[in-house]
Structures are given as C-alpha cells and as structure tokens.
Structure 1
C-alpha cells in the first residue's frame, strides 16, 4: 500500500542521517509545489535535450536529475544532506577559511569502481583568497562518524595561494582519514606514483585553455580501481583519448581499497570571507541564450572489471547559490552530459 507505515526507511542510504521512524512511504526526490529553485537555467541552447525542463512537471523529470532546490526528503533539504554527508571538506584545508560555492552531482551511496568524463578547461586571473575548481571526487565514507573517509580528488584548478600564479593547473588530492592527519595535493607528500612517460604530472600547468568566444580545450580524466591490486589508476588526455599517468597505491587507503561508496563531479568556486567569489567553469551560467557554459561530457562509470559502462547512477544535484552558479540535470545520449558554471561575485 502506497502510504502504509514503515518502521525504518533508509532509502537514501546516507548513514543514519535520513533514517525515518514511523514515516509514510513516498517516492524519493518528490518535488514540493512552490519550493523555489532557479527558473530556467537548465534549458540551454547548447543542449536542446533540456528544452522545457524549466516548465516540466516534477513527474516528467528523471528522479536522478531533479533540481536540489525543488527536492525534499521528509522536509529535509537534500543539499544540507550532502553537506552533512561529506562534511565541510569537499575542499581539504589549505590554510585559510572562507566559503565554498558548489554546483555538482553526488551519487547515492552504492558500490563504484571508476569514473570517466571529458571536461572543458578554462582560465581566469584571480587573487589570493580565491580559487576555482572543476573536479571529480571518488569517496568511501567509511564509518558513520565520517572521520575515516577515504577520498581521491582529480581535476583542474586555479589557485594562486597554492601555486603562486593564476594559471590553470591539473591537480590531485588524497586522504584516508578526512584529511585529519593524512593526504596532500599533487605530489607534495609521498603517495601518487607517476608513470614513466606520463603526459603530465600533478600540479603541472594546462595550456592552452578554452576561449569562451572561441576554441574549447578539453581534458579527459579516467580514474578507476585496479581489481587485482586495489590501486587507483588515473588516466589523462588533453584534446585526445586518455593515457595512463600514474596511480595511488592501495596501501594509502583503508576502505577505498575495496570500492568507492560515492562519486561527485562538478565545479566549485571558493573565496575567503568578505571577498567576492570567482567565476566557475567558463564564467557563464547555463542559459537559453548561448552555449558558453562549461560542460562535462562522455560521463561514464567503470565497472569492477575495468570496463566502461553507461552512467546509470542516481544523483543528488546541489547548487549552493543558484543565481551565481548552476548545474544542469544529466542529459543526452546514455545520460552522459551536464553543463555548469557561473559568473561569481557572491560574498559569503
């Protein structure tokens, strides 16, 4: 019976966060009328498949792509759930406080062994106290307290405080305890094993970058667990198919040696308190007026045996401040593309 009582619901599998006692059953991610959300940003000229998304009724949208601003679970905002789920360390501490504005997708808890996508690469002149990130997060949450979270990050970032310049850098990061005592960016501590002949090393500058009014430059990133060894391999390609660049040994991790429980992907813009947030992606919001926003395409999973598979995971889409930054639903053939970005200028 659709509304019969159940004593326990863990439909989202967010640890004990969303455990419901004695709650009536209802479909997850149901839209609440009048619940807000930014109007129309998802329907883009670059993406005809999204036409009409803004005006479509909730039931017409795939559950895994419903906007976070219009989705609730027993009255609890899912964006807050994501924040509680992954803590405040989507971006490990690098020595300054501030606010992170995110536009990303996060998978529901499950068993994941790899991910691949091709993302646009952009560059901006920004200042110390600002940071731009386009990234993939491979996560095993470990225990319910979150203190033993194993995580790999990989993508591109502009981060003057770390690199001493405003260039766009390829980056990686790892930890096995939520960055309490372990982990580092790039190769600033033992961890990442660079393959001889790698097309680049973590921390290297990516050149050239995309011109918002001209040519798009793209990087393909493939990260996956090697079944025989438990090592996590990374492949990289610049405007071409990816090639092996190195791996994180299984010995670095605890739970991530077996699998990831979640994958996140999208963009972030960070700024210290009182400083306007920088642009994200190309600096343009997804818009019906242009195709200028940055994209992630060819989104696919990698199965336990190393085979590329269609992306069929459900996700929570979160936008910290949608009038500054936005993320579209996942769309296209085999649900393999999303578009995100924003102009910035938010002040926390």
Structure 2
C-alpha cells in the first residue's frame, strides 16, 4: 500500500500520482518473487544431490515451509473486502470446503489400511494437479505484474500439460513398479523437452524464461531419483512459498487478516510434526484424514478465490496487485 495507507477498497487510480507510483514500486518485484518461489524444487533437490542424501534440516525446512500454508487461506476469509464475496455464496466458499474436511476424516477412519494407502496415493497424484493449477495462476500474475499481455490460451495449455510430467515423477518417487522407472523417467524428460521447445516458440525475452520455468517445474523429479517424502515436501514447499507470497500481497491492507494469518501459520507448523506423521496415521487414521480433508478444502477454496475473471473477485484482485 502507499504511504497514505488507503483502505483496501480504495482504487489506486484515486490515490494521487505519488501514492500510485509508490504502490506500483512495491508490487514491481512480484515477478521476481514468483520465479524465486517456483524454483524451490531445483534448489532443494540440487542440495540433496550435492549432500548425497536429503539432510534432516532440509526435511524440516521444506516441511515447515509447505504444510502450514494451508492455514493462510484464513486470511482471505477474514479480509474485510473479500469476506462479503464468500458470504454471498456460502455453498461455494463455506459448505463445500467444510464437507471435504468431514469426508477426509470419515474416509480414512473407515478405510482398511490398504485402502488408506490407495487414498494417500490418489491424494498425491491429485495434489500434483493442484500445484499445476497454481502455477497457471502464478504465471498469469507474473505477466500482469509486469504490465504485459494477459496469459494466452497456448501458454495456459502448456503449463497445464505439465501435470502429466508431475504424475510420472510422483509414480517414480513412489517406486511402485521399479522395472518401469526408466520408461517413466524418459517419458517425463521427453515431455519436458517438447514443452520447453514449444515455450521457446510461444514467448520472447523474460516472458519466455518465466514460461520455461513453469514448464520445467517437475523436471527435478526426472533429472534425479527422489524418494517420495523428499519429493512431497519439496514441491509442497514451493507451492507454499508461492502461496505465502500471494496471500500476503492480497491481504496486506487488512490488519484483521494479517493478525490472523501469522499466528495461524506459526501454530500450524506444529501440525505436520504431530498429526500428519506416519506413526499417527497408523494409530489414528481419522486424524490423518482430517489433515488431508483440510488440505482438500484449501484446494477447493483456492480454486474459487484466485479468479481474475470473476465478476466480483476480479476487480478486487486486480486492484490489490496493481494489475492493469
């Protein structure tokens, strides 16, 4: 926000020249932070390769960066201008997310252990699609934050297609069929190569680099052999870093939202160290399911909140991020 600290509902066009310029400068680095958050997997897996294994400190760093980000969603609900949007559509923003929480706990409580493992597998694969959808949104914000043209349908399709690369990488990490590993790896690398070639012909300059970064997001899963937990923690960390960046920028004008998000995330960092551990899953599977249900609710709610084309949310988000 500008030095004059306008309310979240105040359009930047009425702030005055100096305030508008100051606001734009504060948003100007958004494009760089988006790229920095997106390359977390490359950095984490490179460190592990140099170290010869995934060190404990990197486990903890990626786990604590990624897992608590789910609770940052609360900031969007507590924002004074965004909350009326949710209140006007309770089914989409309240009822359905709450239902997913209950269903998650119930599914894991009722399922035999083998079925529970299948549910976890399905969740990881579905999670990949969620990460990809956020990458689509991040590229859209990247383009708008630089004052460039909106994301094209071809760019959107290229990023969405990377879900297939991510799924192949997760299947490699799960090591369910070791004899298939070479096929999964080279299949993933081939898809990445095609995607990068198409990205090179789709965009130019910094936009080409940003698009290539999104297209290559899952490349570390195929450039190296990564176990499931390091893979899950690493990509959750990148996703979480992106999310903190966007939620922080979106609600920075709301004192109430900021005051709620910070303690929620700090307290939430304790959750993955207790409830979501494999030991707790074996003892109390419904607690594990509750955690996955909360994550699923977060996935669904996110799909509603970050819609630049939405009639009510679009103008608010564009104003918050100083987008053209």
TM-score range relative to shorter protein = under 0.3
Higher relative contact order (CA 8 A, sep 6+): 2
More strand by share: 1
- TM-score, normalised via structure 1 length: 0.26
More helix by share: 2
